[in-house]
């Protein structure tokens, strides 16, 4: 790959190594990297730490740069998101609050005029003297005031608005044709291909009111043939691209341009410059520390790795995940809805192999870009003679490659929820090189980690709103432990919350509707999920002791009925009664906070022993409720 870093003079004049002597400075530069739909098993270091093998359970992966980053710091292998979709997951990270406490469960655009809201991490760092920037994918959905654009960063450059719309990148989609919150949404949709010679081709992907004409279909088909595009034809969302080759070479893809914009921003500290799209902007103040949230779009759909990387994976053998129709039979209604939108039933074995190969090729390409970005950031910090902190969130959520019979996210299963976090600091006392931590951590831990990394005392009362903890305290084993992770989302199939422990994975419907909260229906009938018939609440329980791949829901089997009910009350009281916020985001300050079970989130599980079946003696017979 042709790198863009050679264009930046300050990089070529510095030698950065682990022995470089930094001046002691109270505020380090901070780089926070987030990838999208990124499975942690695409990282060899993660696989070696969790299974002893470099490859994933499916097969070959490549990640030399991320491996190097992990070797320089601490890798948290059991990191779980708090909502398995881009928007609500990122909002929980930026706010340090669970979805049921920040009031964002789906793609609502939130604001901070409501008096229960608190600053996002970028705002707190700005107040502490940082220059803040977000470059690439944003999707945090936070504005300071109702109806205004986001202003929670000093500098913002977005991959879609600032790159694709300027004719940069490989392939760009507009419109939609799919299932949103249970309603079939059909709008005219188009795709635009940007070719390396500067030309473009735009064509109709779908029509809201009719099928494509023969001419429109022919143009679309010709592009699909040209770039070997694999679409999810088995989904309601028929436009989704699960595989293919990028129209652009590696250094001109949208993710490569995101890195180039990041490098240009650092290279133009204390001066103005022009972005790739021709916009005049200012670089960061060189006298201040920087906080940059670098958001990659990859490996999110469209999964289109550049040819130079795709060729390395095109003949790799992979073992496809096992799946059977019996698994679907045990899904409650909500999980069947998620399955039906993203199932792989109609895909051939070759199609499934292509999807896996192209996905891992895309993550390998991302690895190269992450290495380039990290080198540029370290060089900038060295030039400033300032310490640094790098936090890499491996996926805002995960992605299924056939597990549970799907290629998607949105579910309460491990493949949707489990990521990894790598934290690297020039201060090796706080984050020692090569350490692996397998304690349960959550994405709400990222905000307090970033704040504490900037030497902000998060133990003071003004930070009591944070639901997470500083990962440094977990890395140093300072006494904090959690026995479960939490999350909730209202997408695809309605409100669903989940709780996972060492031995069990549980999820349930939390609200008897799919619509976003509106006045006056805010936390109305809030105990419904605790008292309704168990079948209506769509319980799912997996015994990870005997079913680590989560293939058999036992919530309605005779042996597990009482345990499932215990989990329903435990999880329900936390997400419904321990500070639950439902906010009408179309208003300035209309919300309701439910506290009927204040303190229920005690981080302890304490399941009564008589409710836990002995592993291996389960009767698969379902109880007739």
pLDDT(178) > 90: no
pLDDT(431) > 80: yes
Report, as an integer, the average pLDDT of 396-419.
Answer: 97
Which segment, 182-191, 410-419, 472-481, is predicted with the most confidence on average? 410-419
pLDDT at 448: 98
pLDDT(432) > 80: yes
Report, as an integer, the average pLDDT of 143-166.
Answer: 92
Structure tokens at 257: 């341009």
Beta-carbon contacts of 22 under 8 Å, excluding residues fewer than 6 positions away, are: 381, 382, 385, 386, 387, 426
- Helix H or strand E encompassing 355: helix 349-384
Q: How far is CA 372 from CA 2, 51, 393, in A?
A: 11, 28, 17
Closest to 323 measured CA to CA, from 341, 334, 339, 303: 339
For 256, what's the count of Cα atoms within 13 Å in the CB-facing half-sphere?
Answer: 22
pLDDT(549) > 50: yes
- Helix H or strand E encompassing 321: none
pLDDT(237) > 90: no
Average pLDDT of the chain is 91
75: left (phi over 0), alpha (psi -120 to 50) or beta: beta
pLDDT at 175: 63
CA distance 509 to 332: 10
CA distance 295 to 255: 9
DSSP letters for 559-578: GGHHHHHHHHHHHHHHHHHS
pLDDT(194) > 60: yes
> How many other β-carbons are positioned within 10 Å of the β-carbon of residue 479?
7
Among 163-172, 373-382, 442-451, the range scoring the smallest mean pLDDT is 163-172
pLDDT at 7: 33
- Report pLDDT digits (tens) over 91-143: 999 999 999 999 999 999 999 999 999 999 999 999 999 999 999 999 999 99
pLDDT at 410: 95
pLDDT at 235: 55
pLDDT at 618: 52
pLDDT at 93: 98
pLDDT(196) > 70: yes
CATH class of 25-168+253-475: alpha beta
- Report pLDDT digits (tens) over 490-504: 999 999 999 999 999
- Report pLDDT digits (tens) over 451-467: 999 999 999 999 999 99
- Report pLDDT digits (tens) over 17-59: 333 333 445 899 999 999 999 999 999 999 999 999 999 999 9
Domain map (residue ranges) of the chain: 25-168+253-475, 494-611
pLDDT at 389: 98
Report, as an integer, the average pLDDT of 366-389.
Answer: 98
Residue that has been written with the tokens 């999980």 in this structure:
335
pLDDT(169) > 70: yes
Contact 393, 62 (CB under 8 A): no
Q: How far is CA 434 from CA 15, 138, 316, 427, 441, in A?
A: 22, 30, 29, 13, 18
């Amino acid at each position: 790959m042709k790198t863009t870093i050679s264009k930046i003079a300050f990089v070529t004049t510095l030698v950065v190594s682990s022995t470089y002597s930094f001046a002691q400075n109270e505020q380090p530069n901070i780089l926070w990297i987030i990838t999208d739909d990124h499975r942690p098993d695409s990282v060899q270091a993660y696989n070696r730490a969790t299974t002893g093998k470099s490859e994933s359970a499916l097969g070959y992966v490549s990640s030399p740069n991320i491996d190097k980053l992990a070797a320089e710091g601490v890798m948290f292998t059991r990191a779980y998101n708090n909502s398995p979709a881009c928007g609500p997951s990122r909002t929980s990270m930026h706010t340090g609050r669970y979805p049921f406490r920040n009031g964002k469960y789906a793609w609502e655009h939130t604001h901070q005029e409501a008096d229960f809201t608190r600053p996002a991490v970028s705002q707190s760092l700005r107040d502490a003297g940082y220059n803040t920037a977000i470059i690439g994918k944003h999707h945090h959905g936070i504005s300071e005031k109702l109806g205004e654009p986001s202003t929670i960063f000093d500098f913002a450059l977005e991959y879609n608005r600032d790159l694709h719309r300027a004719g940069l990148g490989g392939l760009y989609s507009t419109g939609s044709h799919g299932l949103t919150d249970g309603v079939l949404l059909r709008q005219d949709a188009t795709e635009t291909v940007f070719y390396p010679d500067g030309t473009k081709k735009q064509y109709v992907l779908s029509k809201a009111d009719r099928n494509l004409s023969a001419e429109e279909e022919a143009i679309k088909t010709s592009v699909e043939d040209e770039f070997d595009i694999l679409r999810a034809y088995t989904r309601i969302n028929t436009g989704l691209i699960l595989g293919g080759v990028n129209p652009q070479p590696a250094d001109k893809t949208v993710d490569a341009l995101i890195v180039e914009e990041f490098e240009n921003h650092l290279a133009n500290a204390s001066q103005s410059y022009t972005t790739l799209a021709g916009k005049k902007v200012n670089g960061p103040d060189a006298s201040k520390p920087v906080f940059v949230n670098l958001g990659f779009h990859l490996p999110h759909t469209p999964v289109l790795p550049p040819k130079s990387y795709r060729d390395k994976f095109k003949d790799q053998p992979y073992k496809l995940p096992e799946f059977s129709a019996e698994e679907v039979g045990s899904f409650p209604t909500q999980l069947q809805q998620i399955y039906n939108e993203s199932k792989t039933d109609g895909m051939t074995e070759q199609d499934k192999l292509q999807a896996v190969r192209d996905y891992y090729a895309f993550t390998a390409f991302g690895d190269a870009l992450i290495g380039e970005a990290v080198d540029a950031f370290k060089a900038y910090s060295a030039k400033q003679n300032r310490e640094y902190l790098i936090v890499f969130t491996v996926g805002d959520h995960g992605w299924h490659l056939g597990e549970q019979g799907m290629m998607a996210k949105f579910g309460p299963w491990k493949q949707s929820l489990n990521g990894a976090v790598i934290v690297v600091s020039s201060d090796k006392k706080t984050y020692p090189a090569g350490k692996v931590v397998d304690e349960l951590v959550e994405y709400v831990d990222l905000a307090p980690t970033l704040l504490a990394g900037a030497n902000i005392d998060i133990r003071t009362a003004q930070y009591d709103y944070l639901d997470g903890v500083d990962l440094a305290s977990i890395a140093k084993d300072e006494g904090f432990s959690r026995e479960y992770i939490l999350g909730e989302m209202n997408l695809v199939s309605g409100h669903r919350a989940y709780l996972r422990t060492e031995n069990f994975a549980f999820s349930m419907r939390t609200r008897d509707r799919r619509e976003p909260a509106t006045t006056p229906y805010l936390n109305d009938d809030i105990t419904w999920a605790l008292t309704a018939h168990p079948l209506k609440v769509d319980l799912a329980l997996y015994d990870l002791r005997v079913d680590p791949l989560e293939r058999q829901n036992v919530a309605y089997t005779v042996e597990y009925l009482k345990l499932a009910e215990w989990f329903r009350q435990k999880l329900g009281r936390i997400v419904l009664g321990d500070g639950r916020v439902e906010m009408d985001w179309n208003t300035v300050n209309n919300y309701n906070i439910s506290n009927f079970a204040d303190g229920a989130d005690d981080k302890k599980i304490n399941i009564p022993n008589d409710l836990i079946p002995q592993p291996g003696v389960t009767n698969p017979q379902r109880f007739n409720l």
